[in-house]
Amino acid sequence: MAEAYSREPYVACPKRVSELDNMRTSIKRLLYSMEFFESCYGKAFRDALEVVIEWQELLGTSTTAT
């Protein structure tokens, strides 16, 4: 998670495609880890997972649109 947040300053800079793509990759790793542990936790964890899915999709859209 720290890896993804370390790239947060680039969110406001859509022309920093490489950094945003690295952030998307970091979030994808976080997503895979969360999906692995999803069955161990309850609804609150699933809700957090949905947010991470949205982030990954938004960053995927933004990096392919530029």
Residue range 9-33, pLDDT digits in tens: 767 777 788 888 888 888 999 999 9
Contact status, residue 32 vs residue 16, Cβ threshold 8 Å: no
Residues 6+ apart with CB under 8 A from 33: none
Summarised one tens digit per residue, pLDDT across range 28-65 is: 999 999 999 999 999 999 999 999 999 888 888 765 65
CB 12 within 8 A of CB 37: no
